[in-house]
Structures are given as structure tokens and as C-alpha cells.
Chains A and B, each alone.
Chain A
Amino acid sequence: MFDNLFSTTPDTQITSVSGRLTRTCIGGFLALAFGVGSLASPLVANAKTLAEMKAEYQRPTSVPYPEDNPYSVDKAELGKKLFFDPRLSGNNQLTCAFCHNPSLGWGDGHSLGFGAGMGRLGRRTPTILNLAWSEPLMWDGRFDTLEEQALGPVGAGVEMAQNLETLVAELEEVKGYQVLFNIAFPGTGISLDNIANAIATFERTVISSIAPFDLWVGGDEDAISASAKRGFELFNTKARCSECHSGWNFTDDSLHDIGLPNDAREEKAADGSMIKIEGDIGRGEFFKDNPALQYTFKTPGLRNLPARAPFMHNGSLHSLEDVISHYNTGGYKRPSLSRSMKPLALTDDEAKDIKSFLLTLVSNDPAVTVPILPR
């Protein structure tokens, strides 16, 4: 069992005990405890409007699992072992957790990720936090499901560089895995599909805990500061953040060009010649004829942000102040720029309020234990 993770089944409700999550079969606590009907605020003239805004951010009461890969404790535990097992990489040195480090908001803290041979990757490592509710996956949305995504980095030559054709045979040599796969997947045992299903199941258990913001949404007026409350209102109005960062996990799971400068450039090669580095066009790689999709990247969720710095798909912004300042400018103008991107004219105090609000999304998540790997 995952004593320190938030593993839940579709029928298992999430509840809060002293700021932590535990499992219980008594459901519906959030819907009951976080009712918003009685909220009132001096911040806006129309309290109902604020109540409606808050209602849009209520945490879900259960975790969604796909019908063709339902939750089981055995599957999730196996997936966790695989996630932390370097034998999934080509040189048996890299794990999924190498880039998706729970101490760093399930990212790696670098501007750009590192892969096989410590080669630099083209984008920042995205968090795996709260992906149970998310589709598509990756910055460019190339995978529809966690099951599809799970083996992508494992098999990618620049990432974990594992030969997927030999991975099953490698794991079959580990007696412990034979046992665990047979328990988690009776009758089918070790296969690429089952490796992916197990990892995806584990990833769906990685859920941010209840944050001060959630308590405020639930009716605890003292849970966040006045500055944060002002920030929440700005987030939903003048600052336009909620047009993309919507819902309890603060993402619309859509792809937008937020006007970060194109990183196309020329660099000097070893022989002294200049080489042209193409800019990252994100989802545009898959829809080259669609001008609206150039430079678009998936909206990330905003939970536990401080642990996830630096920010943006290319890690180019190092602080929340930098991020708010970028949005305040309206972004780099080009045909694909999102309609939501406009100069905001936020004052310094308003920017501080928005940052205060964002910090209320940080939860005190329990420590994650590293699993003992099968031999």
C-alpha cells in the first residue's frame, strides 16, 4: 500500500486529516465540506459572482481511471517500482524519477531536462502531478493517454534510450518482477502494455494534497490572506489567467501560444561555421499547416508551483515574478498568439497579490518513499 501517496480508486473518496490525505470509503467529503453557498466577500460587489468563481475550482471527489486500465493496488505498487527502476533505461542508470523527482514537484528543477548521456533535452521536464485528470500529455500534446505516454520517454533515444524490443526480456530475467506482474496482471504477465499500464496507474496516484486555497474554497475564510483573495479575483478577471488555467488543477489541458520569444537562433559550430537552430514550434510540429497551432504548448497546472521552478516549456522564466511580468506584457506578437494574451496593465501591488494567490495552491504533501526494487 502507498502509505505516503494518494492512491485512490474510482470508488474511493479522498479525505483530509490534518492537512494530509488518507483513504476512506466514506465519500463525498469535499462536496459537503466545500459547499460554497454561504460564501461572502468584501472583495467584489457581487458576492455571488465570487461564489461562482470559487465553485469552478472545487477539488474532485474521486480519481478517474480508464475502463481498460482500472485501478488496483498491485498495479499501482508495481508501477511505482518501475518508475523508480533504472533498469528501464538503456544503460540501467536513468529512472523516470530522475527527471520526475517528487522533491522537485515531480519535475527536475532544471530549465531543460537531461537525458541519455546527460544530453540536454529541448524542453523543461513537465511535472507528473495530477495527470489522472489530464489529456493530452507532453508539452505538445502528442500522447492522448498516460498509457500511451508511459513508454515514450523510456524508448526515446535522447531520454532513457531503452530498446523496447528487449525490455520485456530484461524484466523477465528479474524473478521478483515475474511474480509482481503475474499478481498485477494475472494471465498476461510481463508485456510492454502491462509495463505502461502499471506506470500509468502509479502516475494517477500522484495527486497534490489539499492546499490553503482549497480550504478557502471550502468556506474557511482565514485559510488565505487578503492579498491572496485579491489575487484570486485578479486571476479570474483583469489578469485573464483563468481563461486557460481553469478548474481545480488550473489547466484547460489545451494548447496555446503565450508569446514567449521564439528561440530560433544561430550558434557557432565546432568548426567555426554558424549553424541555424530552429525555434520550438510545439504542437505546430504535428499541425504545420495550421497557423493557430504554431508555438503552442500545453497549459500546465499550477499546483505546488514553487517546487517546480523554473517555468514555461523552455524553463526560460525563473521566478513567479518573471512569469507574471511576462503575462503583463501581453507576450510576443505573432499570428498564433492566443486571443487571451493582451497587455494587462497590472500594478506592482496587483502582481504581488497574484503571486500571493498562487502560493496558496501549495500543499504540504506527505513524503514519498522510494520502493525496494525486485531482484
Chain B
Amino acid sequence: MNYSKLICATSALLLLAGTSSAAEITVAQKDKKFTESKITVKVGDQITFLNEDDTTHNLYSKKGASVFDSSVMEPGAKYAIKVDKAGKFTARCAIHPKMKLRVTVE
């Protein structure tokens, strides 16, 4: 096996390993709270937020390891983020700012 084939095979294995280890974590917005107050995830994981309330929510992070803004999340809406950087951030609802989810990305 020459070096180029070895690198290709190794890369494919790493890619496969990376794909299989990525997880999808679901956190609900329920009773104007997140169902978790803090979670720890790994780089590459996806966090899916689900609005299970009958009120409009939002989801944002303006600083830290992940920055995003879902804009309006109507009841039943989903919003997913993929975390691609290690660190910490806090996901919040701009309408109900006491809703906080502290996320550690390892």
C-alpha cells in the first residue's frame, strides 16, 4: 500500500469515526424554561431546540463558542445548531430572558 492510499484509508476511517460519534441532543422549551439548565456536548454535535410551549420563543447566543439567533420560534418550531468550536456559551430566549441553557462544548 503506498502512502497516498494509506492516507485516504485513514482519512475515510477518521471521517467515519467522526460521523458516528457526532450526537444529536434535543432540548425543549417548556413552561418558559429549557428542559435542561446546562449540557455538555462535543464538537460536531447538533443541538436541536423544540418549542413545546404555546407561546412564541426565540433562541440566541451573542457571545462565546457559538453565536446564533433563531428569530421567531412559534409553538412547535424546531431550531438546530451544530457546534463546531470548543468552549462555552449560553443559549437564551430574547423574549423570556430568564430562560438560559449553559452549554459546554468539549
Tell me which of A23-31, A162-170, A290-298 binds B.
A290-298
Q: Give chain B residues whose Cβ lies under 8 Å from the Cβ of A254.
A: 32, 95-98
User: Is B72 on the interface with A (CB-CB < 8 A)?
Assistant: yes
CB–CB A252/B72 < 8 A: no
Q: Give chain A residues whose Cβ lies under 8 Å from the Cβ of B60.
A: 287
Q: Which among B32, B54, B94, B97 is the interface contact of A290 at CB below 8 angstroms?
A: B94
CB–CB A141/B97 < 8 A: yes
Q: Give chain A residues whose Cβ lies under 8 Å from the Cβ of B104.
A: none
Query: CB-defined interface of B69-80 with A at 8 Å, one 1/0 digit per residue?
Result: 101100000000
A135 and B98 in contact, given A287-B58, A290-B58 (Cβ under 8 angstroms): yes
Q: Which residue of B lies closest to A335 (CB)?
A: B72
Q: Give chain B residues whose Cβ lies under 8 Å from the Cβ of A141.
A: 94, 97
Q: Which residue of A lies closest to B56 (CB)?
A: A292
CB–CB B95/A292 < 8 A: yes
CB–CB B72/A253 < 8 A: no
CB–CB A287/B97 < 8 A: no
User: Is B55 on the interface with A (CB-CB < 8 A)?
Assistant: yes
Q: Give chain A residues whose Cβ lies under 8 Å from the Cβ of B95.
A: 254-256, 292-293, 296
User: Is A268 on the interface with B (CB-CB < 8 A)?
Assistant: no
Q: Give the docked Cα–Cα distance between A296 and B58 (Å).
A: 13
CB–CB A289/B69 < 8 A: yes
Give A350 Cβ to nearest chain B Cβ, in Å: 25
Q: Which among B32, B54, B72, B94 is the interface contact of A255 at CB below 8 angstroms?
A: B94
Give B60 Cβ to nearest chain A Cβ, in Å: 8
Q: Give the docked Cα–Cα distance between A135 and B97 (Å).
A: 7
Q: Give the docked Cα–Cα distance between A291 and B94 (Å).
A: 12
Q: Give the docked Cα–Cα distance between A141 and B54 (Å).
A: 23
CB–CB B69/A293 < 8 A: no
User: Is A136 on the interface with B (CB-CB < 8 A)?
Assistant: yes
Q: Give chain A residues whose Cβ lies under 8 Å from the Cβ of B32.
A: 252, 254
CB–CB B98/A287 < 8 A: no
Q: Which among A144, A283, A339 is the interface contact of B94 at CB below 8 angstroms?
A: A283
Q: Give chain A residues whose Cβ lies under 8 Å from the Cβ of B55.
A: 339
Give B53 Cβ to nearest chain A Cβ, in Å: 10
CB–CB B96/A290 < 8 A: no
CB–CB B97/A289 < 8 A: no
Q: Give the docked Cα–Cα distance between A160 and B60 (Å).
A: 32
Q: Give the docked Cα–Cα distance between A141 and B99 (Å).
A: 13
Q: Give the docked Cα–Cα distance between A254 and B94 (Å).
A: 8
Q: Which residue of B lies closest to A284 (CB)?
A: B94
CB–CB B71/A144 < 8 A: no
Q: Give chain B residues whose Cβ lies under 8 Å from the Cβ of A136.
A: 97
Interfacial residues of chain A within 222-260, with CB under 8 A of chain B in the complex: 252-256
- B residues sitting closer than 8 Å to A (CB atoms) are 32, 54-56, 58, 60, 69, 71-72, 94-98
Apart from A253-B98, A339-B56, list 11 A-B contacts with CB within 8 A.
A135-B97, A144-B97, A252-B32, A253-B96, A253-B97, A255-B94, A286-B94, A287-B58, A287-B60, A289-B69, A292-B72
Instruction: List 22 A-B residue pairs with CB atoms under 8 Å apart, sorted by A's residue number.
Output: A135-B97, A136-B97, A254-B96, A254-B98, A255-B96, A255-B97, A283-B94, A287-B60, A287-B69, A287-B94, A289-B69, A289-B71, A290-B69, A290-B71, A290-B72, A291-B71, A291-B72, A292-B56, A292-B71, A292-B95, A293-B94, A293-B95
